[in-house]
Amino acid sequence: KTQIANEYVHRLAEKQDGKEAEQRSSIFWIYANTQARVEHSFKHIAQELNLVANKDLGIDVIPIVRDWMQNEHTGPWVLVIDNADDENVFFSP
């Protein structure tokens, strides 16, 4: 599954060569084998998007990234959730 997602992302990136920045899809990769990896992945996304300062990385950034993704002005994006074999990582009680 990871290889298929990786191939899709690479092909998408190749198709975007030469497109204007606002027409390109943002591509994000979430490593979901543990809750800590999910949180780290979202913190990395928040930093890459300049949604939070380094000093603010102690806060829960998942809602901040989610709000960015839901914004109609954000543009297209792809979110790959890799190694999501344990549903409790996302749906813990």
pLDDT, tens digit, for every residue of 8-53? 888 888 887 777 656 778 889 999 999 999 999 999 999 999 998 7
Residue 38 structural domain: 2-89
- Residue 88, pLDDT score: 81
Taking the CA atoms of 37, 60, 87 and 29 in sequence, report the sign of the dihedral they define: negative
Q: How many domains does the chain have?
A: 1
Instruction: Answer yes or no: is pLDDT of 65 > 60.
Output: yes
Q: Based on C-alpha coordinates, what's the Rg of the chain?
A: 14
Query: From CA 52, how far away is CA 73, in angstroms rounded?
Result: 18
- Residue 64, pLDDT score: 94
Phi-psi region of 75 (alpha: psi -120 to 50; beta: other; left: phi over 0): left
pTM summary value? 0.80
Average pLDDT, the chain: 86
- Residue 43, pLDDT score: 93
CA–CA distance from 23 to each of 8, 34, 52, 89 (Å)? 18, 33, 24, 33
